A and B are shown apart, each in its own frame.
Chain A
Amino acid sequence: MYAIEATGLRKTYPGGVEAVKGIDFEVSEGEVFGLLGPNGAGKSTTVGMLTTTIVPTAGTARLVGHDVARSALLARSVSSVVFQEAVVDRSLSGRANLELHTRLWGVPADRAKRRIDELVDKLGLSELIERPVGSYSGGERRRLEIARALCSEPQVLFLDEPTVGLDPRIRHELLDVIAGLRARDELTILVTTHYLDEAQRLCDRVAIIHEGALVALDSPKALLAKLGSSSSASTGAPTACSRPCGTEESLPKTRSLSERGSRSRSTTTRSRRHSPRSSPSACARRRSRRACRTSTTFTCN
């Protein structure tokens, strides 16, 4: 069983806008999986469907085996989200927000208190936690949002563009925090971003999403190898992926991509301990299998 499993996941909004065009992917327990793409690519819609706040038009998705449509409550109970926008109650204190979250997720009071104290300490919120959230800076609020999402001890954590709108210093601080979450082996993370360097730093594998379709999926290292040394991402600079960042076959030559044929599909290995990053042969095997399944081609425009 996978921690996250999406099959043919599709979302068409009223008016016929196809935000997500039947994507398939799986994420193993303990893996950090990135959805990389430009604004409007369908990342947040995908997260919305996985977190049951957006109803899929077609397809299925499971979180730790729980179908997000048929067993939405169970799916929500094993997951937590850090949304792109702030969702905390600004007039309440940081602690009140965390307590609210633990109560809604049914964490026993004594355990919740321990967990909150631990997270407040780890995320450097001790001095702020009794203050109304309205007085927090953007970075402080984002750290509180991460603490909020973690205090219910989720098995699956969704981070929807967690660093968007933050200044570079705060952004890098936050990336350290998120990278630190990898220490928890049982936590599966799906992070969306349009920064290639973020995906490279945080993720075991990255799926590139463009116009609602997955156009590539591999380890960051393998994707960067395809991008070639010309990519600004290889410099480590915060690179906004304002265009599709790569494909399976023709990536170094492309400027923008369109997908023809059926949707791409990929399968994960167990976790980062057996991740594509550490196992190039496994990457090659998966690529081979994907190619057999999909016969996806990409063209340069």
Chain B
Amino acid sequence: MSAIAEPVPVTLPTPRRARPASALATLARRRAALTAGNPRQILVPLIGPALLALVVAPALTVATGGLHSGIDYESFVGVGAVGLVVPLTCIFAGLSVIVDRHSGAQRELLAAPVPRSYLVIGNLAVALVLSLLQVGVLIGLSALRGGVFHITAHGVAWFLGAVLLFTVFMYGVAETLASRISKEEEYVGAVPAIAILPFFLAGALFPISAMPGFLTTIAKFLPLTHALALMRYAFVDPSGKGLHDIWGMSNVTTEAWLSLAVVAVFAAALTAISIRMFSRSAVS
């Protein structure tokens, strides 16, 4: 007889796990519930862009006489304001990742039997819905204020494609920052560089061709420039002047696909980076 009592074999259980869609929906529902419980997170990102569309654009139209290119300046800025509302919304969403980490809630999620990429994707899903809602409100307000939008099914598809991909990109930036930065105050300090600076360089308030040459070149590398040019092509500028400023080609459809591809590449890259950064930083 052995000196040590042998353990009775334990039957290997068939572990129960949530289906991927169900796990993702649960994580997204959690984020949505937390976001809904904090209306400031929804309203604050909308205030600045709404003021741009409702106050600044009409005032500049009066003061400067508009763009002199046949494009309605109020609608031009109305779309340009999307370039501010989406980054701000995503930055706020990224902030909630830091809050999760500090409150301890992230530990529960890390101990859950779901892939850690789902935690990023669940948050992204809510950021996408929130961005779409805010963009819808912004365009609606701009239209009510007098902006002229040419809305067609074809245009809506381009517009949605640009908004969704740009939101994915921006959320990737926000999530990556949240993984790298431990303190909320440091994270907030990064907002001007991440959200405001590109807004001024990407042709949100004026065509990029109006800037000095080297800044125009820099602007062509920003995903926001491509996203805004696509959105304007969809609703404001069917001739695709903004796309032509970037690509200088004769076929506007080709230019639109190229710009969509650029935003898609940025979105895919930042999503992959953010998932990797989160997975690495969340566990020690």
A interface residues, Cβ below 8 angstroms from B:
1-3, 13, 26, 28-29, 48, 51-55, 64-66, 73-74, 76-81, 83, 85-92, 96, 100-101, 103-107, 148, 155, 267-271, 274, 279, 282, 285-286, 288-289
Known: A54-B284, A92-B33, A270-B5. A65 touches B10 (CB 8 A): yes
Shortest Cβ distance from residue A239 to the other chain B in the assembled complex, whole angstroms: 27
Bound-state Cα–Cα, A79 to B113, Å = 9
Known: A52-B283, A54-B284, A87-B104. A77 touches B15 (CB 8 A): yes
Distance from A233 Cβ to chain B, minimum over Cβ atoms (Å)? 27
* B119 to A: closest C-beta gap in Å: 10
The contact sample of 16 A-B pairs, CB cut-off 8 A, is: A29-B10, A55-B283, A64-B10, A65-B10, A73-B115, A78-B15, A87-B105, A87-B107, A87-B108, A91-B34, A91-B38, A92-B37, A101-B108, A103-B18, A270-B5, A285-B3
Contact in complex: A29, B8 (CB < 8 Å): yes
Contacts of B106 in A (CB 8 A): 87
Quick one: which of B4, B26, B30, B103 contacts A289, CB cutoff 8 A?
B4
When C-beta atoms are compared, the residue in chain A nearest to B100 turns out to be A89
B160 within 8 A of A: no
> Apart from A53-B111, A85-B104, what 15 extra A-B contacts exist at CB < 8 Å?
A28-B8, A51-B111, A53-B107, A77-B16, A80-B111, A87-B108, A88-B108, A100-B26, A101-B112, A104-B112, A267-B4, A268-B7, A274-B5, A282-B5, A285-B4
Of B17, B107, B282, most A-chain CB atoms within 10 Å: B107
Q: Is the CB of B5 within 8 A of A76?
A: no
Cβ B26 vs Cβ A104 within 8 A: yes
- In this complex, how many residues of chain B approach chain A with their Cβ under 8 Å: the count is 40
- Judge whether B16 and A107 touch: CB under 8 Å: yes
> Is B7 within 8 A of A89, CB to CB?
no
Complex-state Cα separation, A53 to B113, whole angstroms: 12
Cβ of B22 within 8 Å of any chain A Cβ, yes or no, is yes
- Say yes or no: B34 contacts A74, CB within 8 Å: no
A104 contacts which chain B residues (CB < 8 A)? 18, 23, 26-27, 109, 112-114
In the assembled complex, the Cα of A300 lies from the Cα of B104 at a distance in Å of 39
Q: Are A89 and B283 CB-contacts (below 8 A) given A77-B17, A285-B4?
A: no
- Bound CA span A80–B109, Å: 11
Residue of B nearest to A111 (CB): B16
Q: Are B17 and A2 in contact (CB under 8 A)?
A: no
Q: Which of chain B's residues have a CB closer than 8 A to the CB of A29?
A: 7-8, 10
Task: For B107, list chain A residues within 8 Å (CB).
Answer: 53, 81, 83, 85, 87
Min Cβ gap A148→B in Å is: 8
Q: Which residues of B contact A89 (CB under 8 A)?
A: 30, 34, 103, 105
Verify A53–B110 contact, CB threshold 8 A. yes
CA distance A227 to B125 in the complex (A): 57
Contact of B62 with A by CB under 8 A: no
Q: Would you call B213 an interface residue if the criterion is a C-beta within 8 Å of the partner chain's C-beta atoms?
A: no
Tell me, yes or no, whether B68 is within 8 Å of chain A by CB: no
Separation of A190 and B242 alpha carbons in the complex (Å): 63
Please provide the 8 A-B residue pairs with the shortest distance between their CB atoms, ordered closest to farther: A77-B113, A106-B18, A77-B15, A103-B26, A87-B108, A76-B113, A104-B112, A87-B104
Q: Does B13 contact A (CB under 8 A)?
A: yes
- Given A77-B113, A106-B16, answer yes or no on A100-B7 (Cβ-Cβ < 8 Å): no
Q: Which residues of A contact B105 (CB under 8 A)?
A: 87-89
Q: Decide if B5 touches A269 in the complex (CB within 8 Å).
A: yes
Alpha-carbon distance A279/B3, docked complex (angstroms)? 13
Q: Is B9 an interface residue (CB 8 A)?
A: yes
Residues of A within 8 A of B284 (CB): 13, 48, 53-55
Chain A neighbourhood of B33, CB < 8 A: 92, 96
Write the nearest CB–CB distance from A75 to chain B, whole angstroms. Answer: 8
Q: How far is the CA of A105 from the CA of B109 in the complex (A)?
A: 10
B154 at the interface (CB under 8 A from A): no
- A279 and B4 alpha carbons, distance in the complex (Å): 12
Residue from A29, A53, A80 with most neighbouring chain B CB atoms (10 Å): A53
CB-CB nearest in chain A for B36: A91
B193 at the interface (CB under 8 A from A): no
Point out the residue from B5, B8, B15, B37 that lies within 8 Å of A91, measured CB to CB: B37
CA distance A29 to B16 in the complex (A): 18
Interface centre among A55, A96, A104 (most CB of B within 10 A): A104
A83 to B103, CA, bound (A): 12
Q: Are A106 and B104 in contact (CB under 8 A)?
A: no
Q: B9 to chain A: which residues have CB within 8 Å?
A: 1
Question: Shortest beta-carbon distance, A210 to chain B, in Å?
Answer: 22
Is B12 interfacial (CB-CB < 8 Å)?
yes
- CB A58 to nearest CB in B, in angstroms, measures 15
> Within the complex, which residue of A65, A86, A96 is in contact with B104, where a contact is CB–CB below 8 Å?
A86
B27 contacts across to A, CB distance below 8 A:
104
User: Are A3 and B10 in contact (CB-based, < 8 A)?
Assistant: yes
Distance to closest chain A CB from B109 (angstroms): 8
Question: Within 8 Å CB of B23, what residues of A?
Answer: 103-104, 106
Q: Which residues of A contact B282 (CB under 8 A)?
A: 53
B111 neighbours in A (Cβ, 8 Å): 51-53, 76, 79-81
A109 to B: closest C-beta gap in Å: 10
Tell me the smallest distance from the CB of B4 to a CB of chain A, in Å: 5
